[in-house]
Structure 1
Amino acid sequence: MLFFLISCFSFILFYKSLSLKPLPPWACEVRLLSLWFWKDLSLFPISKSIRNSLSSSFTLVLPSEMSPKKKTVHSISESVELRQEMSVLDLPELVLECILERLPPDGLCRMACVCSSLKDRCTSDHLWDRHLKQKWGRVIGSAAHREWQWHIATRKDSSFLDRTKGRGLMGYLGRLWPFPFVRSNLNNISKRRYPFPVNSNMSWYHALETGKFWFPAQVYNRENGHVGFMLSCYDAELSYDPRTDTFQARYPPHGRRAIAIESCVTWDRIRAPPIDTSPHDLHISDCLNELSPGDYIEIQWRRNKEFPYGWWYGVVGHLERCDGNNSYCCCRGSDTIVLEFNQYAFGSRWRRTIVSRKNHRKEGNDADGFYGGIRKLSGREEISTWKRLWPTDVLE
């Protein structure tokens, strides 16, 4: 008791000798962080770890004369060694890489939350590039990629941790990855959760999968296959709906018409734009000299100058003076090209049109519409997609 009183008296004298100075600016942050530490840290795990460390230390320094049975000490140490299980990070580099390459997207996300080492591996672009190509490669192209780069470039303050960088103790603790409970609480305070790098394939996949990112693409048979858009493909902005596994299409306005919105657009009606040409610009044709009867083509067409261009499916036909015999056909050397749209009935003004092989750019009028650039179809997949969309009834 006397020793306790002397200790308390000495501490009081020492405390009185301290001069009262104002607290440094980071003291307020420490005071706030103390609540987070006590919230995330449990006394039971700490006391348990301390008890285990003390018991192990006591076992190691136990003198031989105080131990009645030396065999017990060896058995305890052996059991401790057996309890140490092998970690995933202990696997060879090639084996771990093969495992991560075979994980689905949700598996990679869960693995990225385990530790900082797995986070760096699971968020690497080469792993997510495969998932992007596998699910989204057919519907996203260079235009969607440019739109994504612009989106992330204009994104401000992507996470609270970025904003706290270099701002006292809060910013310093926010950058300490070994303390995940600090980072999670900072994210909770900021109300902004973004667990992976913004400029990454993982982030792009997440934005596409959740429907938060509207990307440019083209839709076959616009507005649920309206008769005026059969066998056509129009530009639109699309957003994915994971609940129905379909898309919502937002077509650009033209003239006095407002934005047209179409729901429940299926995957088979979407494609990435094959060329980088705006729907309001004329495509410069570079295949006119090689076109011959039987070739499949797409041609730009719009109702009037206020409408955007859409791509319409057609085939190169024979001239009227040609009997269609390939041995005597002279259409290949003619200065004019016949384009046929066989989905329309005979006698329809939309069934045939003639363009110049040498100087074709834009032809038509406000009554029949305007024909623009032409691109030749050479891939079997493109041609089979158009044939699959062929209307059941002949159009007038």
Structure 2
Amino acid sequence: MGKCCLVTEEIERDLHRSLPEHPAFQNETGIAALRRVLTAYAHRNPKIGYCQSMNILTSVLLLYAKEEEAFWLLVAVCERMLPDYFNHRVIGAQVDQSVFEELIKEHLPELAEHMNDLSALASISLSWFLTLFLSIMPLESAVSVVDCFFYDGIKAIFQLGLAVLEANAQGLCSSKDDGQALMVLSRFLDHIKNEDSPGPPVGSHHAFLSDDQEPDPGTDIADLIRDSYEKFGDQSVEQLEHLRCRHRIRVLQGHEDTTKQNVLRVVIPEVSIPPEDLEELYDLFKREHMMSCYWEQPRPMAPRHDPSRPYAEQYRIDARQFAHLFQLVSPWTCGAHTEILAERTFRLLDDNMDHLIEFKAFVSCLDVMYNGEMNEKIKLLYRLHIPPDLSQQMFLIWGC
């Protein structure tokens, strides 16, 4: 706490973007409270730290709760009610978007049939889930949605999203492209009113209104919520959790496929190994990583999987895993000395001395063994057989 780091810099950057139209955050008192809650949460959960959209939710919580209460409500949302939403890959939000697409097909088949690619609707509705409608609906109306969310969980957001789409089905079906669909939904959401709100309207100011359009008379949030429960409230929490589990597998597999494609795209130009062989090597490398994570006794060391790293460096293996792969795929196996050679090769590849190597270093070494010129192979063998300290000094002096 009190230390400057990347997370605190990101928080500072977003403080004045959090409900800037509300009087509570037009002075240092409100901004300071928001800073303290967000910084405290980043300190509590460094794995999440801070993500955009957390500032909007926390701002609203601070309007209705004391700082400590707002902090624990934020903990509940980030860690229990919206799992895996607040990280750089927003896996949880992508899972719920995939579930939402299935619910659209089930409850609004005509709209689903007209819009062949439902991913467009999913991208439009992503902010509905990430900010619980707070960023795209007038605040005095959106707080009613947040009430429903704390009572019924994500179920309330799914059914409200379906109610919004149903109310705009005709406009969406007549839309010629994604831009028009976005305008239809933005105009509708920006004019949702709350007749029971005691305060003055605080609009979201996201509506698109052309000169030839009449002003939208608006829909009362109470009516919209009532419709959502009456028409789409039949889904139980257990059914939604089952859908989440099923779609999570698909989303994660999609991420793994994307990671693999990006890794190979980075590595292929730098080695002479055929792409089909590289794919098999990647699968072997990843399997070795997964086996150590789930089937072997855990060993204390640096985390092997860091999604924030470049694609080619996400999966990493230690010396024991490398020795196993070395025996499987290296052309330089030599009986009793194979283990020693594998250990020295790993030590040479571990240039940052964190006791882990990534896939790119692994295949680059294999490329020299299989496809390198004779002088490259002799150079590699020479570096493997000289003492580690001398090897490092020679590399710094002569680059060999």
Q: TM-score higher than 0.5 here?
A: no
Instruction: Please state which band the TM-score falls in when normalised by the shorter chain.
Output: under 0.3
Question: By percentage of residues, which structure has more strand?
Answer: 1
Question: By percentage of residues, which structure has more helix?
Answer: 2
